[in-house]
Amino acid sequence: MDINTTDLFKKTPTEHEVHDLIKNRWSPRTFSDQPVSQKELQVLFEAGRWAPSSSNLQPWNIVWGIKGSEAYDRIMNVLVEFNQKWAKNAPVLLLGVVNTKTAKGDDNYHAPHDLGSFSANMALQAQSMGIAFHQMAGLDFEKAKKEFKFPDTYHVATAIAVGYYGGELSNVPDFLQEAETGERSRKKQNDFVFNGDYRETGDVKEE
Ligand SMILES: Cc1cc2nc3c(=O)[nH]c(=O)nc-3n(C[C@H](O)[C@H](O)[C@H](O)COP(=O)(O)O)c2cc1C
């Protein structure tokens, strides 16, 4: 499916040319009214399913809810207030959850890394379908774990707002509107890539 979001692209000043799926992905806080179906979600989960993971442990778990359902409201309820203000625009909410232990009971230090790979696969598959992702660390992890009955060794790492790119700027509070249209920014490669020893390059300001 072609991406049909021409007037919704953000300026992305890359240092080198990269694939359009990577260049054009961004994290909006407004979404189109177009629903995302369960079938489309299954395609996204399938993309995640084929992500690599340490020892192929696949520590990821997903909770999903479509707007209007109980599951959606339960996910909304574990988000911090700041995220609730705009995540309500999304037709789908997800939680990304990891098992932090291996089957033998050892710590799986790579579990969050592998959930990140899962999420990146999903996000790029979504981008190819014109669907946007906005990941969130702003949620009550412990409340979410209890709410969805995950065992103790599990950690609810992220929530994700999912929906087609689009929607009105007025759907987000005034103080967030500039972020919907501004240029994207990143550290320079020189500030985090070392062909040898680490060298201090300074901190990045939080967004
Ligand atoms: C793990 C993770 C947690 C994030 N948490 C939040 C959040 O709680 N609230 C929010 O508004 N944005 C959140 N973001 C979105 C980032 O701020 C955003 O990805 C970053 O500013 C880069 O913007 P871009 O994705 O549009 O390139 C999060 C992103 C990631 C990957």
Parse the chain into domains and list their residue ranges: 31-164
- 121-164, pLDDT tens digit by residue? 999 999 999 999 999 999 999 999 999 999 999 999 999 999 99
Atom of ligand 1 nearest to the CA of 12: 27
Which amino acid residue places its CA nearest to atom 12 of ligand 1?
Answer: 136
User: Sorting pLDDT into bands at 50, 70 and 90, what band is 2?
Assistant: very low
CATH topology of domain 31-164: NADH Oxidase (3.40.109)
Helix (H) or strand (E) holding 117: helix 111-128
Residue 53, φ and ψ in degrees, nearest 5: -150, 155
Ligand 1 centroid from CA 84, angstroms: 14
Ligand 1 pocket: which residues have CB below 6 Å? 26-27, 83, 135-138, 158, 184, 207
What does the block give as tokens for 47?
């993309």
**Does the structure show a pLDDT above 80 at 4?**
no
CA of 103 to the centre of ligand 1 (A): 31
In angstroms, what is the span from residue 186 Cα to ligand 1's centroid?
13
